[in-house]
Amino acid sequence: MAGYGQFCPVAKTCELFAERWTPLILRELCCGPAPFNGLKRRLPLMSKTLLAQRLRELEERGVVTTTAKPGGVGQLYALTPAGEEFRPIIEALSLWGQRHTQSILRPEEFDPHFLLQSVRGQIPRSACPARRFVICFEFSGIAGSKVAGRRWWFVIEHPEVEICMKSPGYPDDVVISADLETFGRVWMGYLGLDDDQARRQIAFAGAADAVERAKSLMGLYDRPRERRFIFGPPEMVDAMRA
């Protein structure tokens, strides 16, 4: 790994943190321990070779630790106490990006799987209904390589939120038909549901109370608002949203 040739703590930290993909690996591990393949699914453009290299470097620097998976096959990667100290940096990067990067987003950067995994991670488990609640997403405007992922489902039943690429076999309580980028911008807080673009490109079908529940669970609002992302496991999301 090339260095900056300076003893400055900023330079030394950047030699580790500012490597390509490293902040995103740390972002994922802020949400809790993860297996290698789980990290790869969340970082689909990163090669397995490079991911393994970055994880090895982070482990050597004392930022990441590995433990055997409960089943005994494979490893789980997790942040060490030193790694946890990167959490406020990740949160600060997220907040800065919320405020200053809206104009440089490109349509092809909106991926339905990553978007819904992100939505899932911000739903407080304490808010999940005891009775099964199913939300179907029908996305349009998806980049050609991702067209196979046009329909998705959330199956929500306290305390779990499951993402399905195939029909789970339960009746849909709410169906959301939406342009992918527009839905992503509403969820990020860049647009509100009452904005003209959202009114044209997002439609909700279902009983009025079920639609309102879906909006509340996912944090979809009529007016744009700055979203504060919580990078942590479900119990941390619950505590912070309380």
**Taking residues 15-28, what's their average pLDDT?**
95
9-100 against 107-218: fold identical: no
pLDDT tens string 177-227: 999 999 999 999 999 999 999 999 999 999 999 999 999 999 999 999 999
CA neighbor of 123 nearest in space, from 29, 222, 214, 221: 214
Q: Within a 13 Å sphere around the CA of 23, how many CA atoms are in the beta-carbon half?
A: 14
- Of how many residues is the chain composed? 242
- pTM of the model as a whole: 0.91
For the domain made up of 107-218, the CATH class stated in words is alpha beta
Of 199, 188, 194, 123, the closest CA to residue 154 belongs to 123
CB 161 within 8 A of CB 168: no
Q: Take residue 85 and report the two structure tokens written for it.
A: 């100290």
225 half-sphere exposure, CB direction, 13 A CA radius? 10
For residue range 153-165, what is the model confidence (pLDDT) as tens digits?
999 999 999 999 9
Domain range list for the chain: 9-100, 107-218
At 187-200, the pLDDT tens digits run 999 999 999 999 99
Q: Tell me the angle at which helices 87-100 and 22-29 cross, rounded to the nearest 10 degrees.
A: 110
Contact 98, 226 (CB under 8 A): yes
Main-chain phi, psi angles of 76, to 5 degrees: -110, 135
Read off the pLDDT band of 147 (50, 70, 90): low
Give me the pLDDT at residue 77, please: 97
**CATH assignment of 9-100, given 1.10.10.10, 3.40.640.10, 2.40.340.10, 1.10.3720.10?**
1.10.10.10
Selection from 40, 82, 86 nearest residue 231 by Cα: 86
Q: What pLDDT does 69 receive?
A: 86
SS3 state of residue 92: helix
Residues 6+ apart with CB under 8 A from 197: 182, 185, 191
Between the two ends of the chain, the Cα-to-Cα distance in Å is 42
